[in-house]
Structure 1
Amino acid sequence: MADIIYTYKDSVYANITNKCNCRCTFCIRFVKDGVGDATTLWHQVNPTLREVLDAIKNFDFSGYKELVFCGYGEPTCQLDILLEAAAYAKKEKGLKIRLNTNGQGSVENGRDIVPELAGVIDSVSVSLNAPSQKEYEEVTRPQHDNAFESMIKFTKRCREEIGDVRWSIVDVLPQEEKDRCIALSNKYDIPLRIRKKT
């Protein structure tokens, strides 16, 4: 059985689905089965809400202040479970909640989901991945049309409703693309984190 809760470095993560609406060329799930202390993050069947809640309930969060929804899938593809599990973790465990996302959640769910997220999510990290629509589509291979603009719109909405939001890119990008990502970050006044490839 795949791990629902796992740790990596100094954080705890919730792996609630393997469904994803992008197939990023650099995605770690195409390279190995697990991250951190997870044996495998590949669910044979995506976990139910009860299984996710039980995993959170039974995990010892001593020494941890935050739970990050991020695994081998896009958490907003299981929005109902994400919202209920985040609410439970905040109330019962006293944790801050971070969402790591590709920013396609509103398109995936057919509505602006940010107000719902704002009720339970404290911070959001959105994968920017590339500085233009063409490059974004080449590297993320999204299922939805106009995915780059959708991601930008989602990020801006998160800044309005949640406040603590940032973009992230991986440091394997050519310097010229990094520079344009930085320019985009400055344009929209959204902080940019440049991550090292895992």
Structure 2
Amino acid sequence: MTILYKIDQSLYVNVTNACPCDCVFCVRQDHESVGGCASLWLEHEPTLEEIISEFEKQDLNCFDQIVFCGYGEPLVKLDNVLALCKWIKARSQTPIRINTNGLADLIHKKETAPLLEGLVDAISISLNAPDAKSYVDIAKPCFGEESFSHLVHFAKMCNKVIPKVTFSVVDVITKEQLEACQQLADTMEIPLRVREMIE
């Protein structure tokens, strides 16, 4: 069972396979893993103790960053992620990043960005669409059209408490949609990164 995996000089943390979205471009639709590691499909949802046990096998200071990103939405397991960030921060200066779909507030029915303050150094939020309707078409969130406004609010709150916030989009959207995403990102003063779809 792959809980931790390495890509370049980053250590990735695969805390869950659960996700409230079913994005049309998601790599897990057609691939067992990324970056040449073993399958990222988990035999079971790992406990906090199991994840820490895997961390204890690593020299965390050897990595450029530790990234919560696997075959699921890491903030589904918010309590575990917070506990792991605290555990890492007590033992290492290695920066922590979270890759997220930005729907944690809907998942947990509360404001979640403030909980990340002081624990997370960077966060990448999958924007992927410029408006609620196209977001539903692309990301297929289980929460429906309200998802987009919650994503935008989450990003706004993250920008207040996390040093580095980035939006990302995958290059499957139209040029017009991409331009509209860029405009939204500029308005919010959040950098936008365009990612290539993994074939």
Q: TM-score, normalised by structure 2?
A: 0.94
Residue deviations 1:41-88 (CA, integer Å, cap 9, x gap) = 001211000011111111234541310000000011001111111111
The DSSP-based 3-state class of the residue aligned with 2:124 is strand
Q: Please show how residues 106-117 of structure 1 align to structure 2 within 5 Å.
A: 106-117=105-116
Percent identity for Structure 1 against Structure 2: 36
1:118-154 deviation per Cα after TM superposition (whole angstroms, max 9, x unaligned): 1311111000011111100011110114000000000
User: 8 Å contact 1:167–1:193 — kept in the other structure?
Assistant: yes
Aligned residue number for residue 153 of structure 1: 153
Q: Which amino acid aligns with 1:75?
A: P
Whichever residue aligns with residue 40 of structure 1, its letter is S
2:22 equivalent in structure 1: 23
1:67-111: per-residue Cα shift (whole Å, max 9, x none)? 000000001100111111111112213221101000001111111
Aligned to 1:174: 174
Runs of 4+ in 1 over 3 A off after TM superposition: 60-63
Aligned residues: 197
- 1:130-182 per-residue CA deviation (whole Å, 9 max, x = no partner) reads 11111000111101140000000000000012131010011232211111111
Q: Any residues of structure 2 matched to 1:50-65 within 5 Å, and which?
A: 50-61=49-60, 63-65=62-64
SS in 2 for 1:92: coil
Q: Which amino acid is the alignment partner of residue 55 of structure 1? A: E
The answer to whether residue 33 in structure 2 is matched with residue 47 in structure 1 is no
Which letter does structure 1 place at the counterpart of 2:167?
W
Aligned residues of 1:7 and 1:37 also touching (Cα < 8 A): no
Residue 93 of structure 1 aligns to a residue whose secondary structure is: coil
Cα distance in 2 for residues equivalent to 1:45 and 1:113 = 25
For structure 1, which segment, 53-62 or 122-131, has the greater mean C-alpha deviation from structure 2 after superposition?
53-62
Cα separation, 1, equivalents of 2:61 and 2:91: 13
The 5-angstrom pairing of residues 182-197 of structure 1 reads: 182-197=182-197
What secondary structure, in the 3-state scheme, does the structure 1 residue paired with 2:20 have? coil
What are structure 2's unaligned runs of at least 5 residues?
Answer: none
Could you tell me which amino acid in structure 1 is paired with residue 148 of structure 2? F
Q: Which amino acid aligns with 1:169?
A: V
Contact 1:76 1:105 in 2 (8 A): yes
Letter in 2 for 1:122: D
Within 1, Cα distance between the matches of 2:58 and 2:40? Answer: 17
| Counterpart residue type for residue 193 of structure 1 | R
Question: Which letter does structure 2 place at the counterpart of 1:6?
Answer: Y
Distance 1:165 1:9 in 2: 21
In structure 2, the partner of 1:124 is: 123
Aligned Cα root-mean-square deviation (Å) = 1.3
SS across alignment from 1:169: strand
